Amino acid sequence: PPEHWGEMRRHPDREGYVQAAHIEFKQLEKMGYLLRFKARICARGDLQTEPGNDVYAATGAYRTFRVLMAL
C-alpha cells in the first residue's frame, strides 16, 4: 500500500484508494469530528512504518529563554 498521498496518486490501484479516502473523510465530517488533521489511511497498520522525523517544538525552553533574557 502507498504510504503518502503522492505515492497513492501514482499507484496502479489509485482509484480505489482515493475512493476509500473520500468515503472515510465524508463519514468523519458528517459526525463532526474531522476539522483538519494530518492522517494516513493504511489498509494494514502492521505494515505502516514509523516516520521517525516527528516534529517537536521546544516552546517551554524558548519561553524560559525569553524570560531570562528580559531580566
User: Stretch 23-28: mean pLDDT, rounded?
Assistant: 78
Does residue 62 lie within any of the structural domains? no
Q: Residue 51: inside a domain, yes or no?
A: no
What is the span of the domain harbouring residue 7?
A: 1-45
35-42, Cβ contacts within 8 angstroms, sequence gap of 24 or more: 40/3, 40/4, 41/17, 42/1, 42/3
Give me the percent of the chain exceeding a pLDDT of 90: 0
Looking at the domain assignment, is residue 58 inside a domain? Answer: no
- pLDDT score of 42: 59
Domain count, the chain: 1
Residue 68 domain-assigned (yes or no):
no
| C-alpha grid cell, residue 59 | 516552546
Residue 69 lies in a domain: no
In a domain, 53, yes or no: no
* 24 assigned to some structural domain: yes
Q: Residue 54: inside a domain, yes or no?
A: no
